[in-house]
């Protein structure tokens, strides 16, 4: 009986990939290279870090699944910020997950995206919902493994552009694969 329990525990741990160096971690993803770009502007983000803060938890899941927040900065010379909240990090590796904004039911929620380029500032236009998806690789322990993980995004978002007194909206493609390290 005891042996059966041990074998069951070992098989469960192997299935989740937790603690297995071959399946946990950033999987060679670069630290920067997540872009929000159009023909008019390119904002690049990276150096993403993860924190299990339960900032956008899903009340329908088990209490042992804690939502994570990811935060990074603009890496192509600007003073931007990129913040995501993922209610179910345990599902990141199970195929494409939907993109949305904070108050949506999306799997990957864009909380904030700001940046600057060419004398203009850019900010997420949360009135225009993002489209697209994202996924994770090397996600172990609900995104809290010290090895980190990789996240890939592929979608479209709208940014409010301010250039002096001129304010308009620019649609950009949000795309790339970057490493996420534990804070």
At 37-51, the pLDDT tens digits run 999 999 999 999 999
Model pTM? 0.85
Q: What parts of the chain have a pLDDT lower than 70?
A: 1-21, 62-64
Please choose, from the candidates 178, 84, 176, 180, the residue with its C-alpha nearest in 3D space to the C-alpha of residue 124. Answer: 84
**Paired residues of 168 in beta bridges:** 161
Q: Where are the alpha helices (DSSP H) in the chain?
A: 2-16
* Strand intervals (E) in the chain: 32-37, 42-51, 68-74, 81-86, 97-101, 108-117, 120-124, 131-137, 149-163, 166-182
Instruction: Let me know: does 44 contact 34? Beta carbons within 8 Å.
Output: yes
């Amino acid at each position: 009986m005891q042996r059966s329990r041990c074998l069951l525990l070992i098989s469960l741990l192997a299935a989740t990939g937790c603690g297995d160096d071959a399946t946990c971690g950033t999987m060679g993803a670069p630290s920067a290279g997540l872009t929000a770009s159009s023909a008019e502007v390119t904002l690049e983000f990276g150096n993403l870090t993860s924190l299990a803060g339960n900032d956008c938890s899903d009340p329908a899941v088990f209490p042992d699944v804690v939502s994570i927040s990811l935060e990074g900065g603009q890496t192509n010379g600007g003073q931007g910020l990129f913040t995501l909240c993922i209610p179910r990090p345990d599902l990141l590796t199970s195929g494409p997950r939907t993109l949305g904004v904070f108050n949506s039911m999306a799997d990957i929620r864009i909380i904030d995206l700001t940046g600057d380029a060419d004398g203009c500032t850019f900010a997420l236009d949360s009135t225009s919902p993002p489209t697209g998806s994202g996924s994770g690789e090397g996600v172990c322990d609900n995104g809290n493994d010290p090895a980190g993980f990789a996240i890939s995004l592929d979608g479209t978002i709208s940014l409010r552009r301010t250039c002096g007194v001129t304010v308009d909206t620019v649609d950009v493609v949000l795309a790339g694969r970057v490493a996420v390290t534990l804070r």
